[in-house]
């Protein structure tokens, strides 16, 4: 692959978007490659958590590729938006938790990529925003939908209508990022969180994620039915029996299996 790197650190998968000369801007090829690497992640049962980061010092992802979009007609723009939305929805629905590791600019499609992840950790120098309206377009990889779900309608409208970039601390205040850390500590912080998640029961985490995501779109009664269902499913796993037995025997469980 040209624009995507993939590596593993134990049970953690790490995707790096790598077009540093264009601040990792997402062109069509990068989206296709991102889709391909997700095939690999989905098949690999040894990956418990996925990190997504940007290559280089300056950017997570500075948006969709403006040079590539400039001469698009509406049909091509629709196709571009559809493929990005498909890939980001796949990330959102992955069986494992995902963490966006935001090491600089996360603008436009970059902010939208981060929004498709479950958790966002940013370095102090990160800048986030949806500057699309300044380019005569709207967010097109989920930003008009996911941003309001994360920060609320009023803030999402403010950010999208003004196109303002906000710094990491402001992003933390409005709930757009979960944590802000020093630049040099960013990857360690993300890996530590990933390892902590990976040390818990994978099946329970996976169905908790599905229940949160599906329930968020549903009415409360339907949503609570999802919760009842996944809670019950956990009792068919060895992990539930082993972990509860270990607790009652006052010992720590070695490693979860399911
Ligand atoms: C293509 C980009 C790019 C982008 C940066 N570059 N962002 N190329 N698409 N989104 C390129 C620049 O052209 C430049 O190339 C190189 O990366 C370095 O960028 P500079 O602008 O020189 O860096 P700097 O002055 O530090 O400014 C950083 C920046 C600025 C503030 C992030 O690059 C910027 O505003 N970028 C665009 C951000 C943006 O508007 N994103 C939203 C795009 S729309 P050269 O060859 O000159 O070195 C979008 C829509 C999503 O994302 C939905 C689609 C369906």
Q: Hey, which residues does 51 pair with through a beta bridge? A: 14, 99
DSSP for 54-100, written as a single string:
ESTTTEEE--B-HHHHTT--HHHHHHHHHHHHHHHHHHHH-SS-EEE
Q: Which positions ≥6 away from 232 have C-beta within 8 Å?
A: none
Nearest by Cα to 87 from 50, 48, 47, 33:
33
Alpha helices for the chain (secondary structure H): 28-43, 66-69, 74-93, 109-115, 143-151, 153-162, 168-173, 186-198, 202-216, 220-234, 238-248
CA 97 to chain centre: 8
**Nearest atom, ligand 1, residue 130 CA:** 42
Low-confidence ranges of the chain (pLDDT < 70): none
Q: What is the Rg, in whole angstroms, of the alpha carbon atoms belonging to the chain?
A: 19
Q: What is the token pair recorded at 15?
A: 């995707």
User: What integer pLDDT is reported at residue 226 of this predicted model?
Assistant: 98
Cβ atoms of 68 and 13 closer than 8 Å: no
User: What integer pLDDT is reported at residue 257 of this predicted model?
Assistant: 84
Residue of 2, 76, 92, 132 marked catalytic: 132
User: What integer pLDDT is reported at residue 177 of this predicted model?
Assistant: 98
Which residue's alpha carbon is at the smallest distance from atom 17 of ligand 1? 22
Cβ atoms of 141 and 81 closer than 8 Å: yes
User: What integer pLDDT is reported at residue 255 of this predicted model?
Assistant: 86
**Ligand 1 pocket, residues with Cβ under 6 angstroms:** 22-23, 25, 62-67, 80-81, 84, 105, 107-109, 131-132, 135, 139-141
Measure Cα distances from 239 to 11, 44, 201, 233 in Å. 17, 20, 7, 11
Domains of the chain: 4-198 (3.90.226.10), 201-249 (1.10.12.10)
Nearest by Cα to 62 from 165, 148, 173:
165
Cβ atoms of 61 and 5 closer than 8 Å: no
Centroid of ligand 1 to alpha carbon of 39 (angstroms) = 28
ipTM: 0.99
- On whether the pTM is more than 0.95, the answer is yes
User: What integer pLDDT is reported at residue 258 of this predicted model?
Assistant: 73
Q: Is 194 helix (H, G, I), strand (E, B) or coil?
A: helix
Locus of tokens 């499913």: 233
User: What integer pLDDT is reported at residue 250 of this predicted model?
Assistant: 97
DSSP symbol at 22: G
What is the best residue among 19, 21, 23 to mutate for testing ligand 1's pocket, by most ligand atoms within 8 Å of CB? 23
Cβ atoms of 108 and 132 closer than 8 Å: yes
User: What integer pLDDT is reported at residue 254 of this predicted model?
Assistant: 84
| Catalytic residue list contains 132 | yes
């Amino acid at each position: 692959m040209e624009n995507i790197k993939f590596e593993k650190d134990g049970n953690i998968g790490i995707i790096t978007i790598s077009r540093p000369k264009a601040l990792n801007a997402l062109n069509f090829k990068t989206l296709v490659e991102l889709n391909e690497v997700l095939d690999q992640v989905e098949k690999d049962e040894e990956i418990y958590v996925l990190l997504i980061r940007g290559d280089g010092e300056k950017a997570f992802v500075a948006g969709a590729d403006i040079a590539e979009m400039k001469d698009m007609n509406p049909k091509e723009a629709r196709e571009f938006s559809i493929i990005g939305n498909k890939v980001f929805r796949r990330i959102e629905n992955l069986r494992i938790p995902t963490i966006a590791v935001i090491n600089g600019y996360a603008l436009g499609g970059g902010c939208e990529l981060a929004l498709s992840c479950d958790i966002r950790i940013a370095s102090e120098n990160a800048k986030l925003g949806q500057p699309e309206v300044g380019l005569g377009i709207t967010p097109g990889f989920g930003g008009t939908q996911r941003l309001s779900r994360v920060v609320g309608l009023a803030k999402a409208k403010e950010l999208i209508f003004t196109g303002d970039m906000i710094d990491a601390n402001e992003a933390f205040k409005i709930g757009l990022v979960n944590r802000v850390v020093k630049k040099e500590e960013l990857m360690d912080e993300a890996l530590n969180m990933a390892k902590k998640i990976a040390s818990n029961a994978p099946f329970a985490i996976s169905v908790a994620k599905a229940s949160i995501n599906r329930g968020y779109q549903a009415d409360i009664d339907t949503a609570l039915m999802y919760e009842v269902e996944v809670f019950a499913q956990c009792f068919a796993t060895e992990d539930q029996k082993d972990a509860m037995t270990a607790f009652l025997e006052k010992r720590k469980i070695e490693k979860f299996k399911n």
